[in-house]
């Protein structure tokens, strides 16, 4: 059994203590173990990152870009192995895991391209003979705390903008998916990246994660995960006034109006909901359909969902989705579905745990007759379940969609440009997809409103999150 070692200052460091088992969620087998790193181990990683960062920030950004491109090249060379590792521990189907590996390499290259475009400003002064300069400077050491759903990509989503802008980073992967992070570290050792710039510490949120948030030398915690954890991280970061960047949960509404292409809507919403087994922050989580076309649409949507093939992703190449990440996630989905049904929702398809003899599988599910006050409409499901509500006009649809504490993404299906523009203006979400579902573009800006987060990732705006301003007033 592999017991992963932290990656600190360019070396793998053993940590004592009892290991946390890592499971294959399709087979219920233990595939590796990680240590629950203490505050001392985190301190060692932060100290190494801090020391290395002082020379790193002095390098021309174009030289930092060169190191990033070495990492992306290694990822491309090893994409098949990366995909297999992600699939085994996270349950993603192999084609999607392969996309994740290549997208990660492309993302790192995209961030490397910013090397010549990190620009400051020259501001007009009120004083004669004075020049006011605004510099964009690195923060120092960034802490990256990750979830399990796109574990490999999320390392890069934090590491690449941090490094190109002159920061160093300490990453804590999810305890569910550390194997891909260990592989990432191995690939980094095959490049010339200076020691200490990229570090990994393994462990539970309550120990290793908290030690990162509470560390006085961590200048920003960049976190992706649930709202509850985001709130705890903010509270811990408050102690040292540490900056937070939070990418949290979502409850994306998909609105289908009368004039929509119903086949397109059914296909896109289904694909979004079964992608990564529904465990995507910006996947369609609730469907609003015009009451006059509801019957026809639900029939199409159910037929699409029914065709979903699922099982063990390493045992079958022909699947649309794999397992749910763990037993707790599976139980949460089942509880939401059961409680909706006892509250009056009608189960058109699925509605229960799938018995495949092993692993955490849930049947593709469609529920109608749902209501706004149901937990299944208000809480994140994170599984292959689509609750449906009908509406009488677009005002009601937009009101329903906005009736949530989340604000990450939303979608609308319409062939009328006015309706599309109205939705883009009136939906209170960071992103609105029109006639399609997720994903977001790396050159866009992925940032949630409301409890979906603070700050964001990707593009120019995401890059600047990893910088702070410094003004110089030069009087001549
Ligand atoms: P989670 O919040 O349970 O855990 C995420 C990470 O936080 C893990 O590494 C965990 O160990 C750590 N953690 C837990 N408690 C902590 C604490 N007190 N202090 C510091 N760290 C702590 O989330 P998850 O179940 O791994 O991921 C699923 C969630 O992530 C969903 O809500 C999903 O919507 C969200 N997500 C959001 C985005 C986005 O871009 N907005 C992307 C992917 C996933």
DSSP, collapsed to helix, strand or coil, labels residue 322 as coil
In short, whether 209's Cβ falls inside 6 Å of ligand 1 is: yes
147 Cβ closer than 6 Å to some ligand 1 atom: yes
Q: How far apart are CA 398 and CA 109, in angstroms?
A: 38
Ligand 1 close to Cβ of residue 149 (< 6 A):
yes
**Contact at 8 Å (CB) between 229 and 251?**
no
Cα–ligand 1 centroid distance for 428 (angstroms): 23
pLDDT 10s digits, 6-19: 999 999 999 877 89
Vertex 362: Cα angle to 154 and 431 (nearest 5): 40
Cα–Cα distance measured from residue 252 to residue 414, given in angstroms and rounded to the nearest whole number: 17
Q: Calculate how far, in angstroms, residue 210's C-alpha sits from the geometric centre of ligand 1.
A: 13
Intra-chain end-to-end CA distance of the chain, in Å: 67
pLDDT of residue 239: 98
329 lines ligand 1 (CB under 6 A): no
10 Å CB burial of residue 238 (0-12, 13-18, 19+) is: exposed
Q: How far is the CA of 462 from the centre of ligand 1 (A)?
A: 19
pLDDT of residue 315: 86
Query: Active site includes 318?
Result: no
| Of 253, 251, 252, 256, the residue nearest 394 (C-alpha) | 256
Residue identified by tokens 């093939």 is 309
CA angle in degrees (0–180, nearest 5) for 281-286-292: 150
Mind listing the pLDDT tens digit for each residue in 238-295? 999 999 999 999 999 999 999 999 999 999 999 999 999 999 999 999 999 999 999 9
Question: What is the signed CA dihedral for 156, 330, 202, 43, rounded to 10 degrees?
Answer: 90
Q: How far, in Å, are 297, 381, 393 from residue 300 at the CA level?
A: 5, 22, 21
Residues 6+ apart with CB under 8 A from 417: none
Q: Which long-range contacts (CB under 8 A, 24 or more apart) does 472-476 make?
A: 472/132, 472/133, 472/135, 473/125, 473/130, 473/131, 473/132, 474/130, 474/131, 474/132, 474/133, 475/127, 475/129, 475/130, 476/129, 476/130, 476/131
Tokens of 267: 């296909």
- Looking at 100, 247, 363, 380, which residue is catalytic? 247
Query: What pLDDT digit, counting tens, does each position of 187-217 carry?
Result: 999 999 999 999 999 999 999 999 999 999 9
Task: For residue 317, name the pLDDT band (cuts at 50, 70, 90).
Answer: confident
Percent of the chain with pLDDT over 70: 100
CA–CA dist 259, 200 (Å, integer)? 50
- Which atom of ligand 1 is the closest one to the Cα of 225? 30
Considering the candidates 237, 268, 281, 370, report the single residue annotated as catalytic: 281
Domains in the chain (CATH in brackets) are: 6-247+450-475 (3.40.605.10), 252-439 (3.40.309.10)
Q: Ligand 1 pocket test: which of 226, 245, 360, 438 has the largest number of ligand atoms within 8 Å of its C-beta?
A: 226
At 268 the pLDDT is 98
Residue 268 appears among annotated catalytic residues = no
Beta carbon of 231 within 6 Å of any ligand 1 atom: no
State the pLDDT at residue 154.
Answer: 98
Question: What would the pLDDT profile of 329-368 be if each residue is shown by its tens digit?
Answer: 999 999 999 999 999 999 999 999 999 999 999 999 999 9
Kindly give the distance from the C-alpha atom of residue 120 to the centroid of ligand 1, in angstroms, as a whole number: 33
Nearest CA to ligand 1 atom 8: 174
What does the pLDDT average to over 372-389?
A: 98
At residue 208, the pLDDT reads 98
pLDDT score, position 438: 85
């Amino acid at each position: 059994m592999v017991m992963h070692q932290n990656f600190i200052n360019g070396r793998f460091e053993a940590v004592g203590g009892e290991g946390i088992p890592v499971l294959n969620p399709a087979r219920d087998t233990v595939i590796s173990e990680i240590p629950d790193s203490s505050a001392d181990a985190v301190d060692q990683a932060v100290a190494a990152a801090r020391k290395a960062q002082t020379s790193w920030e002095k390098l021309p950004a174009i030289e930092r870009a060169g190191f990033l491109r070495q990492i992306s090249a290694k990822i491309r060379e090893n994409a098949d192995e990366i995909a297999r590792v992600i699939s085994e521990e996270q349950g993603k189907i192999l084609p999607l895991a392969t996309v994740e590996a290549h997208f990660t390499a492309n993302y790192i290259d995209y961030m490397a391209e910013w090397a010549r475009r990190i620009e400051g400003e020259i501001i007009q002064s009120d004083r004669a003979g004075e020049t006011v300069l605004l510099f964009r400077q690195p923060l120092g050491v960034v802490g990256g705390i990750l979830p399990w759903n796109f574990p490999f990509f999320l390392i890069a989503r934090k590491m690449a903008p941090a490094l190109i802008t002159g920061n160093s980073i300490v990453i804590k992967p999810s305890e569910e998916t550390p194997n891909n992070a260990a592989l990432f570290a191995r690939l980094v050792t095959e490049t010339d990246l200076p020691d200490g710039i990229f570090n990994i510490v393994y462990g539970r949120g309550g120990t290793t994660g908290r030690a990162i948030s509470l560390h006085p030398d961590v200048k920003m915690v960049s976190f992706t995960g649930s709202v509850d954890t985001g709130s705890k991280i903010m509270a811990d970061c408050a102690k040292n006034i540490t900056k937070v960047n939070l990418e949290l949960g979502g409850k994306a509404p998909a609105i289908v109006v009368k004039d929509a292409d119903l086949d397109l809507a059914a296909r896109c919403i289904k694909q979004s909901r079964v992608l990564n087994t529904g465990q995507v922050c910006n996947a369609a989580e609730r469907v609003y359909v015009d009451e006059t076309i509801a019957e026809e649409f639900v029939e199409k949507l159910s037929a699409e969902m029914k065709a979903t093939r699922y099982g063990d992703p390493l045992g079958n190449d022909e699947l649309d989705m794999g397992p749910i990440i763990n037993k707790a996630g599976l139980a949460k989905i089942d509880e939401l579905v059961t409680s909706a049904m006892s509250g009056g929702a009608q189960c058109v398809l699925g509605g229960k745990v799938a018995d495949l003899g092993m692993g955490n599988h849930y049947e593709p599910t469609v529920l109608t007759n749902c209501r706004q006050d149901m937990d299944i409409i208000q809480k994140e499901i994170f599984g292959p379940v689509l609750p449906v509500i009908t509406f009488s006009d677009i005002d009601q649809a937009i009101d329903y969609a906005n009736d949530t504490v989340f604000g990450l993404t939303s979608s609308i299906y319409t062939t009328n440009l006015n309706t599309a523009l109205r939705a883009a203006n009136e939906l209170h979400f960071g992103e609105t997809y029109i006639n399609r579902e997720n994903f977001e573009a790396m050159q866009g800006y992925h940032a949630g409103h409301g409890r979906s987060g603070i700050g964001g990732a990707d593009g120019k705006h995401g890059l600047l999150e990893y910088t702070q301003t410094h003004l110089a007033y030069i009087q001549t």
